[in-house]
Amino acid sequence: MVGQRRLRWWAALFLAPAVVLTAVFFYYPMAYILWLSMHHWNGLSPVKPFTGLAEFRHLFKQPIFGLVIRNTAIFVVGTVVPSIAIGLALALLANRRLPFRSFLRGVSFAPYLVSFVSAGLAWVWMGSSGGLFDHLMGFLGFHPGNLVDNPSYALLYVIAMYTWKMAGYNMVLYLAGLQTIPREIYEAGAIDGLQDGWTQFRTITWPLLAESTFFVVIINLIFSFRAFSAIYVMTNGGPVNSTTTLVYYIWNLAFVQNSWGQAAAASALLLIVVLALTVGMVRYFTKESFRAS
Amino acid sequence: MVEATPAPKAPVSPKRRRPAEFWRYVPYMVIAIVVFGFPFYWIIVGSLSSNTAIATGSIPLFPLHPRWANYRDAWAYTNFARQVLNTLIMAVAVTASQVITSSMAGFALARMRFPGRQALFIGFVATLIIPFQVIALPIFVLMANLHWINTFGALIVPTAVNAFGIFLYRQFFLTIPESFEEAAMLDGANPWQVLWRVYWPLAKPATVTLSLLTFIAEWNSFYLPFLFTETKSMYTVQLGLVAFQGEFATVYNLLMAATVFISIPVFVLYLMGQRAIIEGIATTGTKG
Amino acid sequence: MTQRTRWLAPIAMASLGSMVLAGCGTSQTAAKGSTGPVSLTFEEGIQSPQTEAYLQKQIAAFEKSHPGIHISMQNYGAADSELPKLESSVAAHDPPNLLWIAPAYTGQFASSDAIVEAQKYFKSTNFQASSIFPGLLKTGEYHGKVWTMPFDANDLGVYYNKKLFAKAGITTPPATWTQFLADAKKLTSNGTYGFEMPIGNQEWTVWIWETLLWQAGGHLLNSSQTKVAFDSPAGIKALEYWNTLMKDHVATFGPLNDSYQLGAFESGKVAMTINGPWNVAALQQQHAVSYGAFPLPKDKVAATNIGGESLFIFNTTPAQDKAAFLFAKYVTTPAFQIGYDTGSGYLPVSKTAQDSAQYQAYLKKNPFINVFVKEMAVGKARPPIPAYPQISADIGNAIENTLYGRMSAAAALHQASVQAQQALDASS
């Protein structure tokens, strides 16, 4: 038998690779970002003078900073809400004993499997002038032309593509949640007179899915905040910066404008937002009585 | 009135009600399948279209004269073979590393008692919410200082550990009865042997799930290789696709052909390991 | 625990480590010694495989005439949108000895001591700087010294669709802005536009727009390069001219940030587009459009934007730096230039090469290229100052803001000039 002390050495050994890699590639970078956000650096120079909060001030004064925040908010809310709603609807549909339901599951999950680069390129083509969507909307007497080149539609179009890609993923998460609900609860509900589908959903299904929803919301928020490839491939943040979100802006500040200090400040900002959202969400969901009794 | 209808009207519907329910939901099914499935069909049609059809936007709904040569041309225009090889090296190495680091850490967290265990677990899981883009700049600087930019080191090492995998193995190992471990220990095995000879083989479902999800994520990954590579000889498939767009932005038939053959491996893996993938996502949520 | 298993753990750890580290850190194994053979790395972004093959052949010839120097070439394959990252990445890791890239980046690399001043080798290697077109040499200057060496040259002109011109009854190509607008109107009919407007806030759009700024009599910077100067009546006029083409519906936007692609021109959807001489091979391969080229129309003056690539020599060892310069010198020789240019459509960097009988015969056969060669006489170049990339990005935003109707030309240029001035001040 291995003694307690020796066991600790074994534990340390088992944990060493993961701990070292996590420290080097997650915790050190986070600390470095906070440090760099208070220094001026052009990415090339050997010196990084301390500038206090000046990088944040410069960042806030950028003419497009307000637009970037607005785009980020629209993108995150605009992708999270519909992709969850559609995902839930798909899950409810695919959970019924209908013919072709496994085909439905497969088809709606397929977009999640392809890369954002592939999906983005395909949607650029479908949204080009004379492309699929141009034709379809033509039937409605509306000719939007090239969707990704139009500052009024580009962000909405990227959101649509993103929603198409993520809804099936949310469906899978919700299907797992639905399968934990015992059928007897519906039967009992039916006896209590809860018979039509909507009432059943509102009084039984939705409350019992609270835990799934909590999880789905957090995961989707995290995914949406980090969306980069789709925007890079579809619009390069344009036109007129109309699709530049915080993550895209960070890359632009660092690698295009060589303002690494400001890029670090923007990264720190994003870090704070993501952390605050997660903590706030955890608090909210644990305080309210969302769980079914 | 209420007593008169004892039969429950629930999703568990008796057989005789199926036709009614079917007709009620069939429109939704059709809409969902068209919305999610049609783009795939359209991508394939586009990949088989002629240049003229693409340029004029007059693509027939059914490709009566498919141009298979598009696939040959798209493959020939870029160095996809090299990019596939690079991606395979990256994906296999990352997958293997994650399986090893995750099962070791997951085992320690599930089966060993030591101070700070809970804090460590939270420390791992917390990394799941950090967007890679936030920490990418410091990692870029680190890779540059190590002279790892444009090498496999930069493509593999930063993602050699993943909290998702640690979580997955921990959960799995927690479900294995302690008697297995005790029996092995009595035979004189040390924890290292217990892990690899007893626990790891039992955790095959977790290994399959983690491997498939990691491999797919690596195959599809863009931002990390985008930042950490420089020359074409180090490109991965997704970078190759973006470079292809840079040269042939409006030659959509070739672009769609390239998109199709780049996505095939992912679908093959999905069809092979559908259950493991779906269950992996459903039980643990994320793979980012 | 047995003795045997005590050994197992460290071995397993080591093998894990070595597996993880496999393939790491062996990117550059160039000989760093100052004596003996010198190995150089050379990174380029040439798109055409034929041109790359020619270059490979020339490298072999160079190695033969310079025993002891070995050059290995790699393609970085960057499109316009990837160039900014390339520059960070090149600066961040062991840079190549030689980098083929636009000379506009000279100031940025020179100011951070990443590259070697080329001029310091001119005397010792007996390099005749006067053989290079002076305007071209200037594109690689920083603080009055030549830092980067011209590799190839190009400029901008207008491609036109001969059939559409004949159909519209236009016999001589437009020479002024006014004629260009009028002809664009004549060329526009159902589904066909007179002109393809470059769009996007990246360098391609800005590079073209700068020619209009100059044609209208404007400047990017003042003569001492301390103040930005594009927020001027000439700048506003240039931007409003483009706006007019869009508002009159005689122009259509090209692909966002990728307007250098010829899809719309080759399918006959646009009658005119601005582009360079390097597409000659691609144009010869397509048979849908009979094409020609004419010089950019003038306003107050005629002007085009000189482009092309230069060789940047990165700071390594004295022996490598010098060997790298020898290759840069070799590239400027007529023997190299003639073969390279007649194969690729790029323009020669030296008068000797341009005047050679062989190149003149090539021009006679390719009047299309001749248009661009002649235009070099009115060529201007972007100032290779460290802040140029940021100034360009600011102008790009102004162009987008105006052409998408978000701001007036005056307001957009004013906002851009405030930003650009800040970047200029911060870099000096």
The answer to whether B100 faces chain A, any CB pair under 8 Å, is yes
For residue A17, give Cα distances in angstroms to A137, B94, B119, B166, B194.
55, 14, 17, 12, 18
Q: Which of B13, B124, B137 sits opposite A260 (nearest CB)?
A: B137
Whole-angstrom Cα distance, residue A4 to residue B191? 12
For residue B8, give Cα distances in angstroms to A183, A190, B20.
11, 5, 16
Q: What is the mean pLDDT of residues C80-104?
A: 77
Q: Name the B residues in 6-35 with CB < 8 Å from any A CB.
A: 6, 8-13, 18, 21-22, 25-26, 28-29, 32-33, 35
Is the predicted pLDDT of residue C174 greater than 90, yes or no? yes
What stretch of H or E contains C2?
Answer: none
Q: Name the A residues in 142-181 with CB < 8 Å from any C CB.
A: 146, 148-149, 151
Q: Which site among C52, C76, C85, C202 would you substitute to test the B interface, given the most B Cβ atoms closer than 10 Å to its Cβ?
A: C76
Phi-psi region of C75 (alpha: psi -120 to 50; beta: other; left: phi over 0): beta
pLDDT tens by residue, B176-209? 888 887 888 778 888 899 999 989 999 999 999 9
Is the predicted pLDDT of residue C3 greater than 90, yes or no? no
Looking at beta carbons, which residues of chain C come within 8 Å of A41?
A: none
Nearest CA in chain B to A125: B252
Looking at beta carbons, which residues of chain A come within 8 Å of B137?
A: 29, 33, 36, 250, 254, 260, 263-264, 267
C78: confidence class by pLDDT, cuts 50, 70, 90:
low
Nearest of C29, B174, C422, C81 to residue A248 by alpha carbon:
C81
Least confident of B65-69, B228-232, B248-252, C303-307: B248-252
| Interior/surface letters C164-186, b for 16+ CB within 10 angstroms, e for the rest | bbeebebeebbeebeebbebbeb
Residue C25 in 3-state DSSP? coil
Is the predicted pLDDT of residue C64 greater than 80, yes or no? yes
Question: Do A190 and B8 make contact, defined as CB atoms within 8 angstroms?
Answer: yes
Whole-angstrom Cα distance, residue C385 to residue C105? 7
Residue B63 in 3-state DSSP? coil
Looking at beta carbons, which residues of chain B come within 8 Å of C75?
A: 231-233
pLDDT tens by residue, B253-288? 999 999 999 999 999 999 999 888 888 887 665 443
Residue C298 in 3-state DSSP? strand
Is the predicted pLDDT of residue C88 greater than 90, yes or no? no
Question: Do C82 and B246 make contact, defined as CB atoms within 8 angstroms?
Answer: yes
Looking at beta carbons, which residues of chain C come within 8 Å of B146?
A: 24-25
**Tell me, what's the pLDDT at C93?**
65
Is the predicted pLDDT of residue C428 greater than 80, yes or no? no
Q: Which site among A9, A152, A236, A251 would you substitute to test the C interface, given the most C Cβ atoms closer than 10 Å to its Cβ?
A: A236
Query: Are A220 and A274 a contacting pair, CB within 8 Å?
Result: no
The answer to whether B245 faces chain A, any CB pair under 8 Å, is yes
**Tell me, what's the pLDDT at A173?**
92
Q: What is the mean pLDDT of chain B?
A: 86
> What are phi and psi for residue B78, nearest 5 degrees?
-120, 175
pLDDT tens by residue, B220-238? 999 999 999 988 899 999 9
Q: Count of CB atoms within 10 A of residue B86's CB?
A: 22
Neighbours of chain B (3+ CB pairs under 8 A): A, C
**Tell me, what's the pLDDT at A285?**
58
The answer to whether B110 faces chain A, any CB pair under 8 Å, is no
Least confident of A74-83, C84-93, C168-177: C84-93
Whole-angstrom Cα distance, residue C370 to residue A212? 68
Q: What is the mean pLDDT of residues C111-133?
A: 91
Between C325 and C134, the higher pLDDT residue: C325
Whole-angstrom Cα distance, residue C296 to residue C303? 7
Length of chain A: 293
Per the listing, tokens 């579809």 go with A234
Question: Do C393 and A257 make contact, defined as CB atoms within 8 angstroms?
Answer: yes
Q: Which site among B227, B231, B239 would you substitute to test the C interface, given the most C Cβ atoms closer than 10 Å to its Cβ?
A: B231
Share of chain A above pLDDT 90, in %: 57
**Tell me, what's the pLDDT at C92?**
67
Here the tokens at position A119 are 């999906």
Question: Do C92 and B141 make contact, defined as CB atoms within 8 angstroms?
Answer: yes
A148/chain B closest Cα distance in angstroms: 13
Whole-angstrom Cα distance, residue B109 to residue C241? 68
Q: Which of A97, A114, A129 sits opposite B266 (nearest CB)?
A: A114
Nearest of A20, A69, A55 to residue A254 by alpha carbon:
A55
Is the predicted pLDDT of residue B248 greater than 80, yes or no? no
Query: What pTM, to 2 d.p., does this model score?
Result: 0.88
Is the predicted pLDDT of residue C216 greater than 60, yes or no? yes
C401/chain A closest Cα distance in angstroms: 6
The packing angle between helices A28-36 and A260-287, to 10°, is 120
Query: Are C153 and C348 a contacting pair, CB within 8 Å?
Result: yes
Mind giving me the DSSP string for C66-119? Answer: STTEEEEEEE----GGGHHHHHHHHHHSS--SEEEE-GGGHHHHHHTT-B--GG
Q: Which amino acid is at C244?
A: T
Looking at beta carbons, which residues of chain A come within 8 Å of C202?
A: 236
Q: Which of C5, C20, C90 sits opposite B230 (nearest CB)?
A: C90
Beta bridge partners of B251: none
Non-local CB neighbours of B137 within 8 Å, separated by 6+ positions: A29, A33, A36, A250, A254, A260, A263, A264, A267
The sign of the torsion formed by the CA atoms of A166, A167, A170, A175 equals negative
Q: What is the mean pLDDT of residues C377-406?
A: 92
Share of chain B above pLDDT 70, in %: 91
State how beta strands C149-154 and C307-313 pair: antiparallel
Query: Are B66 and B56 a contacting pair, CB within 8 Å?
Result: no
Tell me the pLDDT of chain A (293 aa) as tens digits. 456 777 888 999 999 999 999 999 999 999 999 999 999 988 777 788 899 899 999 999 888 999 999 999 999 999 999 999 999 999 999 998 888 888 999 999 999 999 999 999 999 999 988 889 988 888 888 888 889 989 999 999 999 999 999 999 999 999 989 988 888 888 887 777 766 778 888 888 999 898 889 889 988 998 999 999 999 999 999 899 999 999 999 999 998 888 899 999 999 999 999 888 878 766 765 554 444 33
Q: What is the DSSP letter of C297?
A: P
Here the tokens at position A70 are 């607005």
Is the predicted pLDDT of residue C89 greater than 80, yes or no? no
Least confident of A265-279, B207-221, C23-37: C23-37
**Tell me, what's the pLDDT at B14?**
45
The answer to whether A33 faces chain B, any CB pair under 8 Å, is yes
**Tell me, what's the pLDDT at C5?**
39
B49: confidence class by pLDDT, cuts 50, 70, 90:
very high
**Tell me, what's the pLDDT at C258?**
82
Beta bridge partners of A39: A50
Whole-angstrom Cα distance, residue B48 to residue B73? 12
Question: Do A240 and C401 make contact, defined as CB atoms within 8 angstroms?
Answer: yes
B186/chain A closest Cα distance in angstroms: 7
User: Please, what is the end-to-end C-alpha distance for chain A in angstroms?
Assistant: 45
Least confident of B57-61, B88-92, B151-155, C196-200: B57-61
Looking at beta carbons, which residues of chain C come within 8 Å of B140?
A: 88, 92
Residue B138 in 3-state DSSP? helix
**Is omega for the bond preceding A239 within 30 degrees of 0, making it cis?**
yes
**Tell me, what's the pLDDT at C90?**
72
What stretch of H or E contains C325?
Answer: helix C318-331
Looking at beta carbons, which residues of chain A come within 8 Å of C419?
A: 63
In chain B, which ranges are E strands?
none
Q: Name the A residues in 140-159 with CB < 8 Å from any B CB.
A: none
Share of chain C above pLDDT 70, in %: 89
> What are phi and psi for residue A62, nearest 5 degrees?
-60, 135
Is the predicted pLDDT of residue C292 greater than 80, yes or no? yes
Q: What value, to the nearest 5°, has the Cα angle with vertex B73 and ends B69 and B74?
A: 115
Share of chain C above pLDDT 90, in %: 67
Nearest CA in chain A to B27: A93
Question: Do B249 and C75 make contact, defined as CB atoms within 8 angstroms?
Answer: no
State how beta strands C157-161 and C251-253 pair: unpaired
Nearest CA in chain B to A104: B33
A270/chain B closest Cα distance in angstroms: 7
**Tell me, what's the pLDDT at C220?**
96
Is the predicted pLDDT of residue B55 greater than 90, yes or no? no
pLDDT tens by residue, B2-27? 334 344 444 444 444 556 667 888 88
Q: What is the mean pLDDT of residues C181-207?
A: 94
